[in-house]
Structure 1
Amino acid sequence: MENHEFKQYALSPVMNQVIDKLGFKAPTPIQQKVIPLALRGESIIGQSHTGSGKTHAYLIPILNKIKEEQQSVQYVVTAPTRELAMQIYDEAKKMVEFTGEAPWSIKLLIGGTDKKKSIDKLKEQPHLVIGTPGRILDLLEEGALDFSSIQSFIVDEADLMLDLGLIQEIDKTLVRSNSRASVMVFSATIPERLQPFLKKYLENPHYFKMDDRLSPETMEHRLVPLRHRSIADTIIRISETIRPYLAIIFTNGKERADLLSEELIGKGFEVGLMHGGLTPRERKRVLKDIQALRYQYIVATDLAARGIDIKGVSHVINADLPSEEEFYIHRVGRTARAGMEGTAISLFKDEDLTLIERLEKKGLTFTSYDIKDGEWVETKAWNERKKRQKAESEVEKEAWSHVRKPKKVKPGYKKKMKKHQEKVKRKINRNKFKK
């Protein structure tokens, strides 16, 4: 069935054919925003979370605009990690294959590959370059790449670029590029530290934030109190009840990730490990194993999981809750994608209650559970104690309002007032109980 909703963008017949073969029925909210602006060559700052359809939001318009007869680099897409660059390249390559005639030439340029081979492949300039900032800058400085006629430069996962110290390399690349090129920046968050870069390279950009929903409606958020139990033992008890297709277990920091994965492997679990401390070779091996469905569990840190797209995640387990709301949203965004259902399970301690409260104020709904005799049991709400304390303090206050201070102060008057207040409090509570 042809996709009529994309027809509004007046894309080329070839691109409409590609969209049909991709099976897209309607543009996602971010695609509705980006496609028309990118087709006009406008600069964009798009704030969106994982799984929003962002990659095709920029690939569709830039591939559509390639001038096939011009053998020059016209578009550049940069990503912070090799894995993410490879994923974007695979999507673009799939789109080229769907044309049946390969009208667009695309090159993937990432670190960890033979530089000399990359230079040899660039004797003829591709239409689109996809890669990591370091390798792209290196080849630009070698004179193997020419960005003097690029039309658009895309920075994907800009906040992660900032965290990994790659913005300086993008800066140096843009200085050597066509100054009239539009710049499109996509990021899950727009930190203050990113502002100097945005002001330098984006003139009157269109800014939008895709945050209508913090997480998909098909997602359930469960809270499990950790109390004095070990994290590994609690996760094992959880795993016996959920039997996940694939679960990502998040920790705060690589040391905790190492420790937890060792404990779970020691208990007989097949566990993959993803964090910033792995060598490129180890990272490549783990990703290959994940794609081959070797693992049922992946222990990961925020940084490692940000740059990769793992398909088929049925559950996200927070072994440690993060301190920021944004990180919680990134994590849970790994599941319940493309309309599928998903569950986020968070082990929590008293110090996590502030974060949970902030997330509830933003519109998330948490349900409190524990596992007893191998089954989920719904428990009192996580804020039950706080609500009870608040109610008690209100009764206390109301009772004092009925107690009058005597005009003449006699010895022991405070004791008598307190006694009176306690009497009034009991009466208030009795009346409440009757209701």
Structure 2
Amino acid sequence: MKHNFERFELKSFLIQALSEFDITMPTEIQERLIPAIKNGMDVIGQSQTGTGKTYAFLLPIVDRINITKKETQAVITAPTRELANQLFDELKKLTNYSEEPITTQLVVGGTDRLRMMEKLKQKPHIVVGTPGRVADMVDNQALDVRHVDMFVVDEADQMLDMGFLEDVDRAASRMGTELQMMVFSATIPEKLQPFLQKYLQNPRHVHVQPKNVSPKQIKHWLIPDRDRDRKDLLTNIVKVANPYLAVIFTNKKETADEVFQGLQEAGLNVDILHGGISPRERKKVMKRLQDAEVQYLVATDLVARGIDVEGISHIINYEFPTELEYYIHRVGRTARAGWDGIAITIVGRNDQDSITKLEKQGISFTYREIKDGEWVDIDKRNRPKMVSTAKVETGVKKSGTSTKAKAKPKKVKPGYKKKARYKKALEDKRQRRIESKRKK
């Protein structure tokens, strides 16, 4: 049977690699973007995680590398070291099948800078890295990007949120005028538009809408805190759930530290990952996760986007994310590769608005709690009362113009004016009498 990727006319070693990986059918985003990227077009790939976007750009990039030229021809950037490492691993899997060596280099922080600069002197064909370290290498002339004609910005909206677009811009501005720009992102915020307009010319914009906002294999549970201490409740939840691997999300690294400490004190096999963890330790944590040496990982949204660790059976939200769209990114870490998954969220009295918004997106929640060490459903009658915190603005039109109500005039009693005139006449008469007496 003919391999479905053969019609893209990819090099034979790439078809062999895909066959070995048991990948025979292109995903929608691969179907629509591989030909465009092969033809040198600027592209915008808009999709959620799990849609196959990584191979949508890796396959045509590797296919187009001119092995005879000893110069850097492609740079791929990702917002975090973990994401860059993951992209680099996928790249190496593909290039290992090439009979002629395609040289690659990972360029991220937390590694020996001088050693990295020495390796870049060899001018690897493809560089994968984080924006800050890539820009640093370009500024110091360690990374020669004059011949780079393919540049990938992965998770661009997260780059924007984390303030990395300036570094991306700095690196891209040193590249050739015929640069092919490939931008991949779950969302395309308005603030990203100036960057896109600066670097992309008539891009092919492919927006892959997921059939379901969240995979059907994920069960979404809500656990009311009923004003209890959440750390104690969480400890109870994880012990009853007994997951193969659970990622527990918090909004702040300070909260993550507290949760981590609480689970450690409970004697659980737990690790932690957030922006405040040293690069060396973060690398060790990722290795332990990949080796299935950890049962619980406490993390911030740093790992909600793009990190693909096998075997995540449960996602536990210690709280709803501040930006609600991250709920989808968080729960997307489970139920991958055909497996089932459970997303558990601890909710309080003021979370009704978040629940309502997610339900409108098609997510179906089940309210549950623990009784006698077992999960039980909560029927509507026994659910705690929750309140909507949405503020209803008054006195403002949708257009922004004020419609502040004018103060109503005080009610005037019947005959008020007649009585007022009578009182004034009496006062005038009194004053005339006083004046008359003075003259006498």
| TM-score with structure 1 setting the length | 0.84
Contact kept, 8 Å, 1:72 with 1:127, in 2: the verdict is yes
- Are the aligned partners of 1:276 and 1:304 in contact in 2 as well (CA < 8 Å)? no
Is contact 1:315-1:335 (8 Å) kept?
yes
Give the structure 1 partner of residue 256 of structure 2: 257
Q: Which residue in the other structure is 2:109 paired with?
A: 111
Residue 70 (structure 2) pairs with residue 71 (structure 1): yes
Q: Return the alpha-carbon distance in structure 2 between the equivalents of residues 360 and 193 of structure 1.
A: 28
The equivalent residue for 2:158 is 160
Q: Give the Cα–Cα distance (whole angstroms) in 1 for the partners of residues 381 and 173 of structure 2.
A: 52
The CA deviation string for residues 167-217 of structure 1, in whole angstroms up to 9 with x for no partner, is 101101111001211111111222222121111111122223333221111
Work out the percentage of aligned pairs sharing the same amino acid.
47
Letter in 1 for 2:288: D
**Structure 1 position 383, deviation (Å):** 11
Alpha-carbon contact 2:109-2:279 (below 8 Å) kept: no
Which amino acid in 1 is paired with 2:64?
K
Corresponding letter in the other structure for 1:162: L
Residues 124-143 of structure 1: matches in 2 within 5 Å?
124-143=122-141
Greater helix proportion: 1
Amino acid at match of 1:122: L
Q: Does 1:287 align with 2:289?
A: no
Q: Residues 221-259 of structure 1: CA distance to partner in whole angstroms, max 9, x if unpaired? A: 111111122222222332233210000011111111111
> Do the aligned partners of residues 296 and 384 (structure 1) sit closer, same or farther apart at CA in structure 2, a change above 3 Å counting?
closer
Return the offset for 1:386. 8.6
Residue type of the alignment partner of 1:209: H
Match of 2:186 in 1: 188
| TM-score, normalisation: structure 2 | 0.83
Q: Match for residue 375 of structure 1? A: 374
Quick check: which has more Rg, 1 or 2?
A: 2
Question: Mean Cα displacement is larger for which, 304-313 or 17-26?
Answer: 304-313
Tell me how many residue pairs correspond in the alignment.
385
Q: What displacement does 1:122 show?
A: 2.6
- Decide which moves more: 286-295 or 371-380: 286-295
- 8 Å contact kept, 1:324–1:355: no
Deviation at 1:116, TM superposition (A): 2.4
1:348 aligned partner, one-letter code: V
Change in CA separation of 1:105 and 1:5 when aligned onto 2, cut-off 3 Å: same
Q: 1:382 to 1:256 in 2, by over 3 A?
A: farther
Instruction: Pick closer, same or farther for the CA change 1:347–1:86 going to 2, 3 Å.
Output: same
CA deviation map 1:137-163 (0-9, x unaligned): 222222232222222100011122122
Q: 1:6 offset after TM fit, Å?
A: 1.2
Query: How is 1:32-431 mapped onto 2 (pairs within 5 angstroms)?
Result: 32-99=31-98, 101-212=99-210, 213-306=212-305, 308-381=307-380
Q: Distance in 1 between matches of 2:275 and 2:134?
A: 21
CA contact (8 A) 2:157 2:187 kept: yes
Paired residue secondary structure (2:350) = helix
| Matched letter for residue 139 of structure 1 | M
The answer to whether the 8 Å contact 1:367/1:381 transfers is no
Q: Structure 2 unaligned runs (5+)?
A: 387-440
Q: Give unmatched runs, 5+ long, in structure 1.
A: 388-435
RMSD: 2.1
Q: Which deviations, in whole Å up to 9, do the C-alpha atoms of 1:346-386 show, x marking residues without a partner?
A: 11112211111111111111111111111111112499889
Name the amino acid aligned to 1:295.
V
Contact 2:324–2:354, Cα closer than 8 Å, also in 1: yes
Distance 2:379 2:100 in 1: 59
Cα-to-partner distance string for 1:58-85 (whole Å, 9 max, x where unaligned): 1111001111112221111011122211
CA distance in 2, matches of 1:218, 1:264: 28
The one-letter amino acid of 1:28's match is T
1:70 match: secondary structure: coil
Counterpart code for 2:349: D
